[in-house]
Amino acid sequence: MKLQRVLQYAQSLLTDAIQEGDIAVDATAGNGHDTLFLANLVGDDGYVYAFDVQKEAVDATLHRLLDNALEHRALVLKDGHENIAKYVTKPVAGAIFNLGYLPGSDHSIITKPNTTITALETLLQLLKVGGIIVLVIYHGHDGGAEERDEVLRFVSSLPQKHVHVLRYEFLNQQNSPPFVVALEKVKEMGNK
């Protein structure tokens, strides 16, 4: 297959944006797959901040890092991504969100439009010029369509001079397949 799958594409964007020594954010740690992926990219001189509201997700992410002997490269926080500014103060090279619920867990604990948008606003301030935020938008679950629409409204309204916004999506797949929205900061946002 020549066209990259959605998750492959998300990872290739992050690989391009994040160098060794950089700061990266996993806004929805879940089972820790993306946290581990980011920890590999930042190297021993960089750092990953990973957020999740569920203890189960934090534990799974910590275990995955420990299994790969990369726990020293990440701080896994049991807190919402809307509170990123409490923990991250240095410029961020790349961030990822997987919207929706934790696979194999409580389907009622989902990401929500208001907190996702608050986190995006914070990350857009923290992001380096040239930095990337990737959202993998799952929208087939209860509440998913509302979050998809609010997030799309928000990102579509961002000023083109400061942020380039892209949507990457397969148009003929069945059952609400996830799609990628990527934001690249091209100019400082200025103070709010």
Q: Which of 22, 52, 147, 184 binds ligand SAM (CB under 6 A)?
A: 52
122 binds ligand SAM (CB under 6 A): no
Applying CB under 6 A, which part among 23-31, 122-130, 170-178, 179-187 lies near ligand SAM?
A: 23-31
Q: CA 96 → CA 18, 45, 59, 172, 175, distances in Å? A: 12, 20, 19, 25, 23
Q: Which two tokens stand for residue 4?
A: 């990259």
Nearer to ligand SAM, 27 or 127 (CB): 27
Using DSSP's 3-state secondary structure scheme, residue 30 falls into coil
With respect to ligand SAM, which residue has the nearer C-beta, 113 or 162? 113
Nearer CB in complex with ligand SAM: 47/101: 101
| C-alpha count within 13 angstroms, C-beta hemisphere, residue 33 | 9
Q: Is 30 exposed, middle or buried (0-12, 13-18, 19+ CB in 10 A)?
A: buried
For 166, list phi and psi in degrees, rounded to 5: -125, 145
Shortest Å distance, C-beta 39 to ligand SAM: 12
Cα distance between residue 164 and residue 113, in whole Å? 21
The interface mask with ligand SAM, positions 69-108, x = CB under 6 A, is -----------xxx---------------x-xxx------
CB of 167 to ligand SAM, least distance (A): 18
- The widest CA-to-CA distance across the chain, in whole angstroms, is 44
Q: Is 53 in the site for ligand SAM (CB under 6 A)?
A: yes
Residues at the interface with ligand SAM (CB under 6 A): 28, 30-34, 51-54, 57, 80-82, 98, 100-102, 109, 111, 115
